[in-house]
Amino acid sequence: MSTDLDPEQVSGALDMEPEAFRAAAHAVVDVMADYLAGVEAYPVLPPVEPGSLRPRFPAAPPDAPEAIALILADYRTLVEPNATHWQHPGFMAYFATTASGPGILGEMLTAALGQNPMLWRTSPVGTELEGVVVDWLRQALGLPDGFDGLLTDTASTSTLIALAAAREAGGADVAARGLSGRGELGPGLRVYASAEAHSSVERACMTLGLGRIGLRRIPTDEQYRMQVDALEAAIAEDRAAGLWPIAVVATAGTTSSTSVDPVSAIAEVAERAGLWLHVDAAYAGAVALLPDRRGPFAGWERADSLVVNPHKWLYTPLDASLLLSRRMEAIRSAFSLVPEYLRTLDRIGPVRDYNEYQPQLGRRFRALKLWFLIRWFGLDGLRRRISRHLELAAGFAEMVDADPDWERLAPVPFSTVCFRWRPARLAGRTDELSVRAFLDDRNAEIIDAVNRSGDVFLSHTRLADRFTIRLSVGNLRTEARHVDRAWDLLRQEARRLDGRPDG
């Protein structure tokens, strides 16, 4: 590393000098490119114990400046190897987030350009390009032009915004008057979501003052889909009890099993009951880029709002969540406040100030990375990659189905397979309590052993109270050999733990 990278090169400069920045940034690019080229050499999960890393950093901050070369060297030895490698093709846990090449380029420029598109005036291009990209995504998803929206940080925030808007749209005037001490609201507001809906729905209810009690979980059928008759009955029952139903959250692609609620039937119920319908398609929504795979989403065009996360299956560096809504004014009424110091004096005609549609005032310029990656991949390129992931998951499901010692535990509508080891010799005995406990323990041991290999990272859930291994394909680098490797490891560890010879 050259001496260009010494600290505070010059006396006068208050920021790093542009030419020193240029040299340092070129050095950083090489670290980044080397990492992406070599990421597969790392174990997906770093072999470190909690609490072991912090003591390796100085307990006190430095008073004197340090050279970039030194910081970068520490980055390579202390930071990079101790990351969980979401960029690794063996990352098949949770839902993947790949920071794609063009997305990273967009983030680089975002960092240097330093925009804050809270007001149109504080970033005209940040504001208007967000409008462009939101509409590009709307079209790509096959949604009608009545939908408008914004980019938020996470699905948690998108869903919170949707439910805050529902709280207003129901006529309860909560933004102004709050929830306490108001007899006309009855014992409380209610949101409905399936037993399999994401924890972010419950957390939004906590944040919004509805409480965990404000979320009523509707039972699911044997395929983990919301039971629509149970939803309808719950709404009627709550209304009779004086509660105030405000919203239904339908999930297209739940987190545990990626099950799909019957969105059309739920939309019917929501419309009849006058409730806000929010569709959580944070993970699976990307599949709607494929026109022939839009079946699971039928009915979402009737939603009041919906969320799809580009930072999941659209290869966008964290963070980027797309919130679309047909009722932007309800969202605005939930959050808008314009104090004098944010008023713009030269405002001509209708200007969108995006901060009025979210809990935060400040915002990142998230549209830029999406503009980069949608153009670089093209919609066709994105479709090709999503299709490939669907195929890889289907192939894995076939292997599970074909093996008598393994059991698939849910349908595979997208790219996530839920399964467990269940040796053929136990067929017919899996309802016994001792067998259930044995299978739970053994599958936990299997996944632990597989993850310790470093080649792949799988996560787990519980379905119908059974310990369930999940394999979810969504990393841009994942190929058939990685899925095959996961399968080999799973079978190998199951045999080893079962005391049977390998092979």
Q: Which of residues 482-501 bind its own copies (CB under 8 A)?
A: none
Site mask for its own copies (CB under 8 A), range 265-304, x = bound: ----------------------------------------
Rg of the chain over Cα atoms, rounded to whole angstroms, equals 25
Answer whether 132's CB lies under 8 Å from 365's CB. no
Does residue 21 belong to the site contacting its own copies (CB under 8 A)? yes
Does residue 125 belong to the site contacting its own copies (CB under 8 A)? yes
Supply the minimum distance, in Å, between the C-beta of residue 17 and its own copies. 8
- The C-alpha atoms of residue 399 and residue 17 are separated, in whole angstroms, by 57
Sole binder of its own copies in the list 347, 425, 429, 500 (CB under 8 A): 347
Strands 406-408 and 416-421: what pairing?
antiparallel
- The C-alpha atoms of residue 11 and residue 264 are separated, in whole angstroms, by 66
Position 243, amino acid: L
Query: What DSSP element (H or E) covers 396?
Result: helix 367-402
Does residue 425 belong to the site contacting its own copies (CB under 8 A)? no
Site mask for its own copies (CB under 8 A), range 460-479, x = bound: xxx-------x-----xxxx
Sole binder of its own copies in the list 92, 149, 156, 303 (CB under 8 A): 156
Q: Which of residues 45-104 bind its own copies (CB under 8 A)?
A: 45-46, 48-51, 53-54, 57-66, 68, 70-71, 75, 78-80, 82-84, 86-87, 94, 97-104
| DSSP calls for 262-316 | -HHHHHHHHHHHT-EEEEE-TTGGGGGGSGGG-GGGTTGGG-SEEEE-HHHHT-P
Supply the minimum distance, in Å, between the C-beta of residue 146 and its own copies. 16
Stretch that binds its own copies, among 170-178, 223-231, 292-300, 428-436 (CB under 8 A): 170-178
Which of 214/299 has CB closer to its own copies? 214
Q: What are residue 247's DSSP bridge partners? A: 191, 276
Sole binder of its own copies in the list 3, 41, 240, 340 (CB under 8 A): 340
Position 277, amino acid: L
Supply the minimum distance, in Å, between the C-beta of residue 10 and its own copies. 12
Answer whether 318's CB lies under 8 Å from 142's CB. no
Chain position carrying tokens 């102004």: 176
Q: How many helices (H) and strands (E) does the chain have?
A: 14, 11
Supply the minimum distance, in Å, between the C-beta of residue 471 and its own copies. 13
Does residue 388 belong to the site contacting its own copies (CB under 8 A)? yes
Supply the minimum distance, in Å, between the C-beta of residue 372 and its own copies. 6
Sole binder of its own copies in the list 2, 3, 11, 176 (CB under 8 A): 176
Q: Which of residues 196-255 bind its own copies (CB under 8 A)?
A: 199-200, 202-214, 244, 255
Does residue 305 belong to the site contacting its own copies (CB under 8 A)? no
Answer whether 489's CB lies under 8 Å from 455's CB. yes
Stretch that binds its own copies, among 174-182, 259-267, 403-411, 482-490 (CB under 8 A): 174-182
- The C-alpha atoms of residue 479 and residue 266 are separated, in whole angstroms, by 37
Count interface residues toward its own copies (CB under 8 A): 180
Which of 101/423 has CB closer to its own copies? 101
Q: What is the 3-state secondary structure (H, E, C) of 354-372?
A: HHHHCCCCCCCCCHHHHHH
